Structure 1
Amino acid sequence: MTTIKKDEKNNLYWFKISLGTDPTTGKRRQTTRRGFKKKADAEKAYNDLKNQYYNGVLVYNKSTKLKEFIAEYLKWYKTQVRSTTYENRVSSINKNIIAIWGEYKIEQITPIAIQKWQHELLSNKLNQNYVRSLHISLSQILERAITLDIIKTNPAKKAGNVKRKKVEVEFWTEAELRLILETMDKTNLIQYFGYIIIKFLFYTGLRFSEMQALQWTDFYEINKSISISKDLDYKNQNNWVFDDLKNKSSYRSIILDDDTFYMLLEWKNFQKTLFNVKEDSFIFSYDNGIPTNKYFPMNTIIRHAKKANIKRIKTHALRHSHASFLISLDINIIAIAKRLGHTDVQEVLKTYGHLYPQHQFDVVENINNHIKNSKKIKRGQLKVKTFQ
């Protein structure tokens, strides 16, 4: 029977509820909630806790091992993010959080212990920004524990994260792209397909998974554009599904330059000689409509960068190459952000700010000219007042 009590000193309601037996310690688990102005509010909170417990949410406390809580956390986390994000995050959590913290009780994860964990990861030569991302994952897990009233404070937040290490992005110039393309034999199917993909990514800036998901229904000949409305979660040629895009800004339509547009038209005609092309067929497919293998562009880059005697870059760096190309053309930064599907211009500046050196000089020159002109005006005004 529910017992809602009233504290006569402050005229507020409170209750104590039993939530079964802790699976780790075998002890009876109870929690107390206070500060309700109305009895009905206290009753509602009591019933909500009881329902959550029977739904399997509140079976843990601060004495529970972290690995047991993470197992529950991941069930919830999977409902919050894209499948690709979930899979990537689970892998790092298993390797660098559960493997190290798994046997610890939640209450044993203290700020000083987290600081020691950071130092150990760094001493093992893990990338500093990767360690930073692991800390964020751990903090999110512990934040969820706070939400579920398992702990009161987040020790990861108290410990603080490691400093972000600025890494300059790698990219190709347009001249380097041309050197790469010149090494490809367009009479060879595999090399021709590689030519299409590398050139397309350079001149559109799409994420590779966005490109993978493109179908001919996303290609509009009337206004020479493509619509980016989905991602592809690719495991292998027999296991792939469409996925949501990274964020709202990722849903966009971009206009193709004439050269890229006509390249796709030529590819579509050639593709028809390979298999029965339908409106919903993948644009980037040469094997009976099967989507592009995610390793294909990287293998193409490795092979032909060596032939062209230029630096090798990652597939994602073609997106950076597009951004740097637009910056070199002095394209408006807002237009660049929208074309890349960034949330705002700050993302562009954070990633590509170092590519704007001349713009920095232009800003300073404009400020200097403004100040000089302002001083001239003031001197003129002072002279007028003197003569008066």
Structure 2
Amino acid sequence: MPSYKKNNKWFCSFYYTDYQGKRKKKKKEGFTTKKQAEQYEREFLTLHSGLPNITFTQLCNVFLEDYKNRVRTTTYNNLSNDIRVYFKDYFSDFKQITDIKNLNIRAFQSELKLKGLSNNTINRIMTSLSHIFNFAVDYYNLASNPCKTIKTLKNDKKDFNILTPEEFKQLINCIEEKERIFFITLFYTGLRVGEALALTWKDFKGNTLDINKTLVMVDKEEQYNEPKTKKSKRIIIIPQFLVDMLNEYKNTIYKPKTYHNIFLLSYSQ
């Protein structure tokens, strides 16, 4: 475990094999003592040893590093938030991930229930936790996923209050005129808010709307993403009265371009 001294500071330089089997070189500088440099190297090699003798926090850090490049930013942020809010404090007392058993996972699930979270939310959180342990099984030789035997809670029933056309007419009269076309489009097409906000004039052709992207909020900033699934990408036929309304609305805009958004609204409004 060699350490070196340069300009009165210690550093370590060594090779390691990452969880994907790739050999890499690591160098870390700025240690005050040789002992600190050696401790850093020892902990780093343990983390990348491919063995399950790592802490839950270390597992989460490696998992997120890999996960970030594989999923949408919103998906990454949601799971990262679950780790920060729910997982790290609860599992921080375990010395290594092999100490976390299914009984501990069940107790964690029960604690979420005591916090008043809905069954749907708890199931989503448990799915995130299972993803992390699956990663440990695949890349850190963890014998099994302790979440595997935990039963999914029964989904909460949702009561939807669907507006009738008459109720919608009353509602639309209370909305500012410049925003009415947006809500009328939502009501008669069933589009999600992000899908409607992402529409450009290029997507409006004849009596159809081409749904090929969605607008999301990431770190308080708007961002365009592709729809989550292939089925979410679709072309929908809209009623003639809506076609006429959109064309009339377009005529009120000064020199609209094909790449301009149809609805000049944002999530912040």
TM-score of the pair, normalised by structure 2: 0.78
Report the Cα distance in structure 2 between the residues aligned to 1:52 and 1:152, rounded to whole angstroms.
Answer: 23
Report the Cα distance in structure 2 between the residues aligned to 1:170 and 1:141, rounded to whole angstroms.
Answer: 37
Distance 1:109 1:172, change over 3 A: farther
Report the Cα distance in structure 1 between the residues aligned to 2:23 and 2:58, rounded to whole angstroms.
Answer: 16
Distance 1:84 1:75, change over 3 A: same
In the TM superposition, what whole-angstrom CA distance separates every residue of 1:7-49 from its partner, at most 9, and x where no partner exists?
xxxxxxxxxxxxxxxxxxxxxxxxxxxxxxxxxxxxxxxx997
Which structure 1 segments of 5+ residues have no match?
1-46, 185-190, 286-291, 297-388
Matched, 1:283 2:265: no
Q: Is the Cα–Cα contact under 8 Å of residues 66 and 103 in structure 1 kept in the other structure? A: no
Which of the pair is proportionally richer in strand?
Answer: 2
Aligned residue type for 1:82: R
Secondary structure of the residue that 2:108 maps to in structure 1? Answer: helix
Distance 1:158 1:100, change over 3 A: same
Q: Is the Cα–Cα contact under 8 Å of residues 50 and 139 in structure 2 kept in the other structure? A: no
Larger Rg: 1
5 Å-filtered alignment, 1:1-388, equals: 51-52=21-22, 54=24, 58-59=48-49, 61-104=51-94, 105-184=96-175, 191-221=176-206, 224-235=207-218, 239-272=221-254, 276-285=255-264, 292-296=265-269
Aligned residue type for 1:167: K
Q: Is the Cα–Cα contact under 8 Å of residues 231 and 242 in structure 1 kept in the other structure? A: yes
Report the Cα distance in structure 2 between the residues aligned to 1:88 and 1:215, rounded to whole angstroms.
Answer: 28
Deviation at 1:118, TM superposition (A): 0.9
In the TM superposition, what whole-angstrom CA distance separates every residue of 1:197-240 from its partner, at most 9, and x where no partner exists?
2111111111111112111111102xx10101112233589x43
Q: Is the Cα–Cα contact under 8 Å of residues 66 and 98 in structure 1 kept in the other structure? A: yes
Report the Cα distance in structure 2 between the residues aligned to 1:211 and 1:50, rounded to whole angstroms.
Answer: 41
Which structure 2 segments of 5+ residues have no match?
1-16, 26-43
Distance 1:208 1:146, change over 3 A: same
Distance 1:163 1:53, change over 3 A: farther
Secondary structure of the residue that 1:283 maps to in structure 2? Answer: coil
Q: Is the Cα–Cα contact under 8 Å of residues 73 and 218 in structure 2 kept in the other structure? A: no
Distance 1:241 1:158, change over 3 A: same
Aligned residue type for 1:199: I
Identity of aligned residues (%): 27
Aligned residue type for 2:234: R
In the TM superposition, what whole-angstrom CA distance separates every residue of 1:163-193 from its partner, at most 9, and x where no partner exists?
2222233432222211101223xxxxxx123
Report the Cα distance in structure 1 between the residues aligned to 2:179 and 2:188, rounded to whole angstroms.
Answer: 14
Q: Is the Cα–Cα contact under 8 Å of residues 50 and 140 in structure 2 kept in the other structure? A: no
Q: Is the Cα–Cα contact under 8 Å of residues 83 and 243 in structure 1 kept in the other structure? A: no
Q: Is the Cα–Cα contact under 8 Å of residues 73 and 144 in structure 1 kept in the other structure? A: yes
Residues paired across the two proteins, number: 232
Aligned residue type for 2:256: V
Runs of 4 or more above 6 Å deviation: 47-50
In the TM superposition, what whole-angstrom CA distance separates every residue of 1:339-370 from its partner, at most 9, and x where no partner exists?
xxxxxxxxxxxxxxxxxxxxxxxxxxxxxxxx
Secondary structure of the residue that 1:89 maps to in structure 2? Answer: helix
Secondary structure of the residue that 1:51 maps to in structure 2? Answer: coil
Deviation at 1:83, TM superposition (A): 1.8
* Aligned-residue RMSD, C-alpha: 2.5
Deviation at 1:271, TM superposition (A): 2.5
TM-score of the pair, normalised by structure 1: 0.55
Distance 1:99 1:234, change over 3 A: same
Aligned residue type for 2:258: E
